[in-house]
Every structure is written in C-alpha cells, then in structure tokens.
Amino acid sequence: MSLILKISLASHVILGIIAIIFFYAVWLNLFKQKLNLKLLKFSSLTGLIAFLLSWLTGGYYYVVYYGNAVRPGIKGGQFPWAHTIVMEAKEHIFLFLPFLAAISFIVLWFFGQTIATDAKLKKGLLFINAVIAVIGTAIALSGIIISGAIRQ
C-alpha cells in the first residue's frame, strides 16, 4: 500500500471518529437545560466538515485500492460476509451521514436561537443527532469488522 493510500485510510478512520465525537457532543449537550449555542454550532460545523472529508478520503481509498486489492482477498478468505454483507451495508448507509449532519448544522446555525423555546424543533434535532451518533458508531464498528477480515 502506497503512502498516499495509507494517509487516505488513516484520515478516513480518524476524521470519521472525530465527526462521531462532535455529533455525540451535540446530542449530549442538547439535553442540558441551559443550551450552549456556541458549543453546539462549533460541534456541528466541525462534525460536518469531518464527515465530508472522511467521505472523500474513504471514497478515494475504496476506488483506487479496496476494490482491486482488498475486496477479492476478503471474498475469497475466511470471512466473505465481511464484504458481501457488512461492507455493502456500510457503503450505502454511510451516505446518510453527511446529509443528516448538514441538517443538524443548518438547524443549529440558522434556527439556533429558537431551539430553547421551540420544544418540537428541539425534539427533532435531538432525534437527528441521535441517529447520526448511532449510525456513525455502527459504521465505525463495521469498519473494524471489514478490516479484521483482511488476513495476509
């Protein structure tokens, strides 16, 4: 694996984890009685950027390397389901994340002032951030399952 591919894979993983951490922070902080809007805005922006960069770096690694060099090894190995089920699910479900993250970002940045008074909006935002954190975590665990199936 070339250096650029190693950097792509490492960036994909770490940026994905950073994004999950920031959206988990948004979810957690939305439960507080006194909302810290500055922190919520900063977390959603950082999380969104991290998800987008993770998407790009992961996409580059997948197109340039995974499809030709890794996938055949997994499919022909001891754990073929790591690709046929887990990777197939991961690469489709992952697509939701940047869009959900963008919704959370837009609501916080453009309607942030009304969250404290609008219970319905706050409930919706809580739900979206919970979905982002849960799907993000599932995607991260899928990544471990897929990587673990690669045996040299």
Partner 1 sequence: MQILLTAGHIIGTVLGVGGATFAEIFYLKSSRDGVIDPTESGFLKTTYFIMRTGMIFLLISGFGYLIWYRFTGQEALMYNPRFWAKLTIILIILANAILLQAKKISLNIGSAISLTSWYGALILGSWRTLETGYLQILIFYITAVFAVYFALKIIKNKIRIK
* Interatomic CA distance for residues 142 and 130, integer angstroms: 18
Taking CB under 8 A as the rule, does residue 125 contact partner 1?
A: no
* Interatomic CA distance for residues 31 and 20, integer angstroms: 17
Nearer to partner 1, 84 or 106 (CB): 84
Name the minimum Å distance from CB 103 to partner 1. Answer: 20
Q: Which of residues 5-44 bind partner 1 (CB under 8 A)?
A: 6, 9-10, 13-14, 17-18, 21, 24, 27-28, 31-32
**Sequence-ordered list of residues with C-beta below 8 angstroms from that of 117, at least 6 positions apart, any chain:** none
Taking CB under 8 A as the rule, does residue 147 contact partner 1?
A: yes
Nearer to partner 1, 103 or 140 (CB): 140
Taking CB under 8 A as the rule, does residue 1 contact partner 1?
A: yes
Nearer to partner 1, 5 or 37 (CB): 5
* Interatomic CA distance for residues 87 and 139, integer angstroms: 9
Taking CB under 8 A as the rule, does residue 149 contact partner 1?
A: yes
Question: Which parts of this chain interact with partner 1 (CB under 8 A)?
Answer: 1, 6, 9-10, 13-14, 17-18, 21, 24, 27-28, 31-32, 137, 140-141, 144-145, 147-152
